[in-house]
Amino acid sequence: MNRTLIGDLFYISDKQLRNLNFFGVGLIIYSASFIISRVPNTNFIICQAFQTIALFFIIPNAIKLISFKLENQYLEFLFVIYCIWLFLIIIRGFQFNYSFIKQMLFDSGFGIFPYLVPLIILFPNKLEFYKKLFQIIIIFGIFALLYDIVFFKYLAGGDPESILSRNIVENTSDIVMPSGFILLTYIYHSRKTRLFALGIIILALFFAILKARRTYIFMCSSTLLIAYFLYLFNSKRRNIAIAIYLSFFALLIGIFYFNRLYDINKSIFGYLIDRGDVDTRSGVELYFYDDMTTIDWIIGRGIDGKYYCPGVEGDDITVFRGVIETGFLQTVLKGGLISLGLFLFIAIPAIFKGLFDSANILSKAAGFWILLSIIYSYPTIIQVFSLNYLIVWISIGICYSKKIRYIAEDTLRRNLYHPVE
């Protein structure tokens, strides 16, 4: 690829770089404040005050960075339809009262901002943008480490069945998992950066095992396995590398079942083993299926959509829930199969382009990240306002860009490599 094109793909104006910096600052403040607000006995007013400040960084700078210019016509066509549909979801059920608007602004999981995340695909699709993304991921990792230190006694001890213990562990997923993208794109980072990201994921995996958070365990371990696979696949002895990877994968499965059968290391794996076959989801899903009509399945119930699910939240009479922990069903609840289908029609071709029609690790990592997000959408909800979900749409932008996908690896590494010492 010629130098002129590389320069065009790398270049970003000083104004755009400033906007990206402010957007990143806002995202960090907003995410950190929301996570802290979910810790019991936290002052919600202070946290939401910081979230308000963060929005003044995020919204205006995001607007300035958006430019409706997509390389791929297929993506452009579906993306317009998808955005229109997301807008219809927002206006269906939107309420103009204080408590509802407050939830829309400050709840990163079930507010309005998850529906605006796809717009990040319209940010400058330049290499400098990806370098800035890597820097933001590292900052998120530092915050995750500080969080672990502050709440260590809850993470490493306490009753694993308590809501407090569970929430403190699960709170970290949105700030920890982006470190996995550093591991997938290992070739563009210094050894220190790779080890730091690896440490963040392994530490989260350890705490998840202690508290038997099965979804979190699966997310951390599968990310590590994919990163390991990319590392081996990119080695000189590719066939041997794949064999080693498959052997390693089989070994992990064997260790897991061996521990379950023979109760080894009970102090670490005990609660996970005891909880291994517990079904906490089928009852909720059955209520969901019973309450949804045909039209609900097709178009969803809008941004404030709820379903009848008595007893789940401790109410023995009537409970209408706006959340179902299965990500696919959550998408259907709000936007129907139309919403889910449009996303998959965009995401699945991106996966194939990134994995099988690319010349560099960045594109393959992006393809794997989208694939993992789809897999994770069964056991958890990925579609929230988080860096994790933002990377999904950034990855879609990478995979649909033929210019990015076809950059030679050595050229891309020279332009992306940025050691953080």
What pTM did the predictor assign?
0.87
**Angle 387-399/14-37 helices, nearest 10 degrees?**
140
Please report, for residues 31, 41, 131, 184, 206, the alpha-carbon distance to residue 158 in angstroms, rounded to integers and kept in the order given. Answer: 26, 17, 39, 34, 15
Residue 32: pLDDT over 60: yes
pLDDT in tens, 139-187: 999 999 998 888 887 777 665 556 666 677 777 888 899 999 999 999 9
Residue 339: pLDDT over 70: yes
**In this predicted structure, what is the pLDDT of residue 272?**
44
Q: DSSP string of 219-278?
A: HHHHHHHHHHHHHHHTSS-HHHHHHHHHHHHHHHHHHHHHHHHH-TTHHHHHHHHHHTT-
Cβ atoms of 16 and 67 within 8 Å: the answer is no
Cβ atoms of 272 and 292 within 8 Å: the answer is no
**In this predicted structure, what is the pLDDT of residue 264?**
39
Domain residue ranges in the chain: 3-416
Q: For residue 398, which of 166, 177, 3, 75 has the smallest C-alpha distance?
A: 75
Spacing of C-alpha 94 from chain mean position: 25
pLDDT in tens, 238-264: 555 555 555 555 555 555 544 444 443
Spacing of C-alpha 64 from chain mean position: 24
Q: Which of 146-155, 276-285, 319-328 has the lowest mean pLDDT?
A: 276-285
Mean pLDDT for the chain overall = 83
Residue 274: pLDDT over 50: no
Beta strand 307-308 with 320-321 is antiparallel
Element (H, E) at 336: helix 327-356
**In this predicted structure, what is the pLDDT of residue 263?**
44
**In this predicted structure, what is the pLDDT of residue 271?**
44
**In this predicted structure, what is the pLDDT of residue 158?**
61
Element (H, E) at 420: none
Residue 214 token pair? 């099965």
242-256, 269-283, 296-310: range with highest mean pLDDT: 296-310
> What is the Rg, in whole angstroms, of the alpha carbon atoms belonging to the chain?
22
170-184, 279-293, 333-347: range with highest mean pLDDT: 333-347
